[in-house]
Amino acid sequence: MWSSVLDLPDPVMALFRYFSLALSMTSLSLSAATDSSRCRCLYGQDCWPNDVAFSTFSQKLSQPLIRPTPIAATCYSNSSSSSCLDATTNFHNSTWRTDQPGASQNINFETYIRRNGTVEGCYLNVTLGDPCKQGSVPPIGVDARNSQDVQAAVRFVKEHNLKLVVKNTGHDYLGRSSGRGSFMVWTHHLKNKSYNETFVPLGGPSNATFSAITIGAGTLWAEAYEFVNEQGRVLVGGIAVGGSVGAAGGWVMGGGHSVLSPKYGLGVDNVLEFQVVLADGSLVTANAYQHSDLFWALRGGGGGTYGIVTAATYKTHPSFGVGQASFQANFTSPEVAEKVMTATISATLNFTNAGWGGYLYIFPGFIAGIWVAPNASQAETETAFTPFASYLYNITGGQGGAVYNQTDSFYQWFYDMFVLGGDSQVGGNTYIASRLLSREIAEHNPAQAAKALLSIPGSIGLNVIGGGAVNRVDPSLTGLNPSWRHSLAEVYVTEGWEDGSNATVIQQAADRLKKNTDILENVSTDSGSYLNEGSLFERDFKKSYFGSHYSGLKAIKEKYDPTSVFIVASGVSSEEWNKDLDCLLD
What residue type is 427 in one-letter code? G
Residue-wise pLDDT for 268-300, tens only, equals 999 999 999 999 999 999 999 999 999 999 999
**Contact 123/72 with Cβ under 8 angstroms?**
yes
Asked if 160 and 41 touch (Cβ cutoff 8 Å), the reply is yes
- 326 φ/ψ angles, rounded to the nearest 5 degrees: -105, 130
- Note the pTM of the prediction, 2 decimals: 0.92
What's the pLDDT tens digit per position in 411-456?
Answer: 999 999 999 866 678 999 999 999 999 999 999 999 999 999 999 9
Contact 122, 135 (CB under 8 A): yes
Query: 170: closest CA among 258, 246, 273, 274?
Result: 246
Secondary structure, 3-state, 447-508? HHHHHHHHCCCCCEEEEECCCHHHHCCCHHHCCCCHHHHHEEEEEEEEEEECCCCCHHHHHH
Mean pLDDT in residue range 249-266: 98
DSSP letters for 512-575: HHHHHHHHHHHHSTT----GGG--TT-S-HIIIIIGGGHHHHHHHHHHH-TT-S---TT-TTGG
199 neighbors 313 (Cβ within 8 angstroms): yes
Question: Which of 333, 328, 323, 332 shows the shortest CA–CA distance to 344?
Answer: 328
Q: 143 pairs with which residues across the strands?
A: 186
Cβ atoms of 224 and 312 within 8 Å: the answer is no
Mean pLDDT of 216-226: 98
pLDDT higher than threshold 70 for residue 405: yes
Q: Quick one: which H or E segment has residue 372?
A: strand 366-374
Does the pLDDT of residue 6 top 70, yes or no? no
* Mean pLDDT of the region 80-95: 95
Distance from C-alpha of 469 to C-alpha of 465, rounded to nearest angstrom: 10
Contacts of 524 (CB under 8 A, 6+ apart): 435, 436, 437, 438, 441, 449, 487, 491
CA–CA dist 116, 120 (Å, integer): 11
Summarize the confidence of residues 471-476 as an average pLDDT: 98
For residue 197, the tally of other CB atoms under 10 A from its CB is 11
Q: CA distances (Å), 254 to each of 235, 287, 507, 556, in order? A: 17, 17, 26, 16
**What was the pLDDT predicted at 209?**
97
Instruction: Provide CB contacts within 8 A for 230, sequence distance 6+.
Output: none
Q: What is the pLDDT of residue 425?
A: 85
Query: Between β-strands 183-186 and 140-143, what pairing exists: parallel, antiparallel or unpaired?
Result: parallel
- Pairing type for strands 183-186 and 164-167 reads parallel
Q: So what's the pLDDT on residue 423?
A: 64
DSSP-based three-state secondary structure for 246 = strand
Q: Which residues of 383-420 are buried (b: 16+ CB within 10 A; e: fewer)?
A: ebbeebbebbbebbeeebbbebebbebbbebbbebbbe
Model confidence over 156-208: pLDDT tens digits? 999 999 999 999 999 999 999 999 999 999 999 999 999 999 999 999 999 99
Query: Nearest CA to 409 among 323, 315, 319?
Result: 319
pLDDT for 418 equals 92
- Among 425, 387, 417, 358, which residue's Cα sits nearest to residue 173? 425
CA distance 180 to 111: 9
What is the longest distance spanned by two Cα atoms in the chain? 75
Per-residue pLDDT tens over the stretch 22-44 = 333 333 334 344 466 799 999 99
The pLDDT > 90 percentage for the chain reads: 91
Q: How many residues does the chain have?
A: 586
pLDDT of residue 25: 35
pLDDT reported for residue 424: 77
3-state secondary structure of 305: coil
Residue 1 CB partners (closer than 8 Å, separation 6+): 58, 59, 61, 64
In degrees to the nearest 10, what's the CA dihedral of 486, 490, 491, 494? 150
Average pLDDT taken over every residue of the chain: 93
Q: Is the pLDDT of residue 262 over 90?
A: yes
pLDDT confidence band for 243 (50 / 70 / 90): very high
- No. of helices (H) and no. of strands (E), the chain: 20, 19
Query: Could you give the domains of the chain?
Result: 5-186 (3.30.43.10), 193-318+548-566 (3.30.465.10), 322-408+427-539 (3.40.462.20)
Instruction: Give 495-532 pLDDT, tens digit per residue.
Output: 999 999 999 999 999 999 999 999 999 888 788 999 99
Task: Give the burial class of 206: count Cβ atoms within 10 A of its Cβ; 0-12 exposed, 13-18 middle, 19 or more buried.
Answer: exposed
pLDDT tens track for 348-385? 999 999 999 999 999 999 999 999 999 999 999 999 99
Question: Radius of gyration (Cα) for the chain, nearest Å?
Answer: 24
DSSP-derived pairing of the beta strands 283-287 and 357-363: unpaired
71 Cβ partners below 8 Å, 6+ apart? 87, 91, 97, 100, 102, 103, 124
pLDDT of residue 19: 36
Q: What is residue 37's predicted lDDT score, i.e. its pLDDT?
A: 74
At 519-576, the pLDDT tens digits run: 999 888 788 999 999 999 999 999 999 999 999 999 999 999 999 999 999 999 999 9
Own/partner pairs, 442-448, CB within 8 angstroms, 24+ separation: 442/345, 442/346, 442/348, 442/349, 442/488, 443/346, 443/349, 446/342, 446/343, 446/345, 446/346, 447/338, 447/342, 448/523
Buried b (16+ CB within 10 A) or exposed e, 251-289: bbbbbbbbbbbbbbbbbbbbbbbbbbbbbebebebbbeb
What are the start-end ranges of the E strands in 115-192? 119-120, 140-143, 164-167, 183-186
